[in-house]
Amino acid sequence: MPPQHAELPDKNVVLHENVVGRIIEDDTLVDYNVEIEDIRPHPLSGSQMSFFEDDDIVLGDTDTLKLNMGMAAKWNSAEYQADVYAGNRIAYYKLNEEIGDGKFSRVKVGEHSITEDKVAVKIVEKARIEQRRHHVFKREIRMLDSCHHPNICRLLEYIDTYNQLYIIMELARGQNLQRFVNHSGPLKELLVRKLFIQVVSAVHHLHSKNIAHRDIKADNIVIDPQTERIKLVDFGFACFSDDDTFSTTFCGSPPYAAPELFSSRKYRAKPVDIWALGCLFYFMYCGTMPFAGRSMFELKAAIRYGKYVVPRNATVYVKRLLKGTLNLNPMDRFTIQRVMNCSWLSHANYPSDSLELSGDRQHPDMAVQKMVYRTFNHLQSQYNVSLLDLQAALSRGVRDPLTGLYRLTFMGLMTKDDDVVRENSIEYKKSVHDAVTKMRNDGKKRPKKASKVCTIL
C-alpha cells in the first residue's frame, strides 16, 4: 500500500503515514519550519523514540520526513481504540478467545502487536479477590520468573492496572491431559513413560528451586498430541518450600490430595507433590483415579486408608513406583530424586533446562551469553531499539513492556535453533535409513559366493 501524504499549507513538507506525531499549527513559526509533538502512548519506554531529542531540524522545499515508527498507525487506528474500550487489548497485546476460567481469574489467548506471537494472558479481577490475597499472584510471578524449563511455561510480562492484574506467559499448545486420557482411555506404557518423564523433570526443576506446585493434576498439564510434549501450568497454589518448611493451606484437587492434607493442620509441600505424581501416573496408566468415593467423606476415607487396585498387567517396576509415591507416610514417600532413579524410569532421557531468559551480556553460561547478543542485535536491527533503553527495561524486570518484547524475541530465536536441530536430526536419520536400505538392496542383488576359507558342516 503506497504511503498516504499530508501536505502542509504553503509548505512542501511531506509526512509519511508512519509518522508518530502531530503538526502544531502556529502563526509564529517561520516558513519551512514544522514543530512535531510526540503523541505516542510510550509503550516501549522510549526506545530511541524521541524525534529530534530537542534539536531543531530545518526542512526545506520538497523535503520528506520519514520516521521509523510504523506501530503508531496501529495505536491511533479506530480498530485499536475500539479494542481498548471493549477490554480486548492491554498494552501490546490483543486479547482473543478465552481458554480457561477459574475462581479468581480467566485465561485468554493474546497476540503481540509487533511480533504477532501468540501468548497466554491470565487476567485477575482485583474486585474478586481480597487485598491480602494480592501477594499470592505476585508470588506466582516471582516463581514463574525463576523457572527456565522446557516443560514449564515461561513468564513474559506482568501488567498491574487499577482493576486487573495481567500475567503474560508462554502459550501451551494442545489440550489438557484430563481430556486427552478421557478421550483415548488408558495410555500405552511407552507413552505414559514419555509423558511422565517430562512431568517428573518439571517437578524436579521446581523442587531444586525449593518451589512446590501443590496442584499437580491432569487438568494442569497441557499436551500437544502431535509432538507429545507437555507443559505444567497454573502456579496459583505454588509456594516456596524447603524441607524444613511447613504449609497450612489446603491446596489442590481432592482426588490428588495427599492423606496428610486431611489429617494434619500442617504439612510439608514437596511430599504432597510426590503423592500427586503417583495419582497422575495411575490415571495415565489405568484411565481412572487410584482413590474415589461417591462423596467427599468417602473420598477422604479412601485416601487416608491408602488402598488402591493394582492393575493386573502392571510390572514389578510399576508397582514399586506406585508404592513409593503413594506411601501414606510423607517421611517414607519417595523424593523427586528417588522417583527419577526408580527402576521404571531407568535410562530415562530427562529434558535439559532451557536457557535462562537473561539480559546479562556477561552471563557465565556461554550459550545464554550468545543468545543475549543475538537478541540484542535482532531488536536493534528489526525494531530500532537502543541498547541503553533495552538495558534499562531489563533492569526493571517483567513490569516493563520492552522486557516482554525481549523475552518473546529470545524465545523465538531459541525455537528457530531447536527447529534447525530437529530438521537436521530428521535429515540425518533419513540419510542413515536410505543408506541402510540401499546396502540391504545391494546385498540382495549380489549373488552369494561360498567362502574359500571355511565350510560349515
DSSP, res 344 = G
Distance CA 147, CA 201 (A): 12
User: Which grid cell is 130?
Assistant: 481480597
Please give the annotated binding residues for ATP, written as ranges: 122
Contact in structure between 190 and 284 (CB atoms under 8 Å): no
Confirm if 198 and 216 have CB atoms less than 8 A apart: no
User: Which residue in 151, 275, 150, 304 sits closest to 217, CA to CA?
Assistant: 275
CA distance 106 to 155: 16
Distances (CA, A) of 295 to 275, 299, 303: 21, 6, 12
- Which of 26, 83, 160, 215 does the annotation list as catalytic? 215
Rounded to the nearest 5 degrees, what angle is found at the Cα of 29, between the Cα atoms of 28 and 30?
A: 115
Q: What are φ and ψ of residue 321, in 5° steps?
A: -65, -45
376 CB burial (10 A radius; 0-12, 13-18, 19+): buried
Is residue 244 among the annotated active site residues? no
Q: Which residues sit in the known binding site? A: 122
Concatenating the DSSP letter of every residue in 122-164 gives EEEEGGGS-GGGHHHHHHHHHHHHH---TTBPPEEEEEE-SSE
| Degrees, nearest 5: CA angle 291-296-297 | 95
Q: Which three cell numbers stand for residue 308?
A: 488402591
Rounded distance between C-alpha atoms, residue 179 and residue 225, angstroms: 11
In the block, cell 499530508 appears at 6
Distance of CA 387 to the CA centre of its chain: 26
- The enclosing H or E element of 216 equals none
Residue 8's beta-bridge partner residues?
A: 11
Rounded to whole angstroms, the Cα distance separating 127 from 161 reads 12
Residues 281, 301 contacting (CB under 8 angstroms) = no
* Complete DSSP assignment for 310-331: PPTT--HHHHHHHHHHS-SSTT
Alpha helices in 314-386 (DSSP H): 316-325, 336-341, 366-383
What positions carry a catalytic annotation?
Answer: 215
